[in-house]
Chain A
Amino acid sequence: AQSVTQLGSHVSVSEGALVLLRCNYSSSVPPYLFWYVQYPNQGLQLLLKYTSAATLVKGINGFEAEFKKSETSFHLTKPSAHMSDAAEYFCAVSGISSGSARQLTFGSGTQLTVLP
């Protein structure tokens, strides 16, 4: 079985401040990990993904995430928040074995608010 826990359903930061969104995973197989972003009234779009090639993954819009196996974490960061980063962020995990582990399991999401 696989699961994802996102700590903090709501995070607020000031414009220009560091963004840190937390994600911890549980997986019985080597995981692939994803961060998706959802802007209001839109579908989800991929920010970045970890595919075991490198533990530090860079994505779009200045976001990056680091895979830490010892901590079972895949936290998302951005050095300086912009107003346009306000959105909901989803962490997701998939595996390579059969059945449900081959599909994406999403976390419950974190709503990011950027204050002027």
Chain B
Amino acid sequence: DAGVIQSPRHEVTEMGQEVTLRCKPISGHNSLFWYRQTMMRGLELLIYFNNNVPIDDSGMPEDRFSAKMPNASFSTLKIQPSEPRDSAVYFCASSPGLAGTNTQYFGPGTRLTVL
């Protein structure tokens, strides 16, 4: 299996621009998670989906952030407009099911820099 695929791996953009991060989960996994990692705040869960339906978006920092999962094999995280404080590594993870004993498999991350 190719694992969780994220693109792009690196993104540099200017403040005010729209940024779209993409994720392809492992085939057969029905839960998908978006995390953000920074030195200051550590690893934060932003939103998660089950069977393509958003379950909990309470971790999304602001209305500038939105996430979609149009089908079982694709999800996007969009920031519009972007700000320098959004600079972080964004991880997508997928899992056979919600939490419990299920292992989450992480992608390699997208390193976002907003100038």
Task: Name the B residues within 8 Å of A113 (CB-CB).
Answer: none
Q: Would you call B30 an interface residue if the criterion is a C-beta within 8 Å of the partner chain's C-beta atoms?
A: no
Task: Name the B residues within 8 Å of A104 (CB-CB).
Answer: 45, 99, 104
Whether A43 touches B100, Cβ cut-off 8 Å, given contacts A100-B56, A106-B42, A109-B43, is no
Q: Would you call B108 an interface residue if the criterion is a C-beta within 8 Å of the partner chain's C-beta atoms?
A: yes
A interface, by DSSP: helix, strand, loop or mixed? mixed
Q: How many residues of B contact A (CB 8 A)?
A: 20
| Inter-subunit contact B104/A102 (CB<8 Å) | no
Q: How many residues of A contact B (CB 8 A)?
A: 24
Task: Name the B residues within 8 Å of A12 (CB-CB).
Answer: none
Q: Quick one: closest B residue to A105, CB to CB?
A: B45
Known: A99-B56, A108-B42. 10 other contacts (CB 8 A): A36-B106, A42-B108, A43-B91, A44-B106, A45-B105, A49-B103, A95-B100, A102-B99, A103-B48, A104-B99
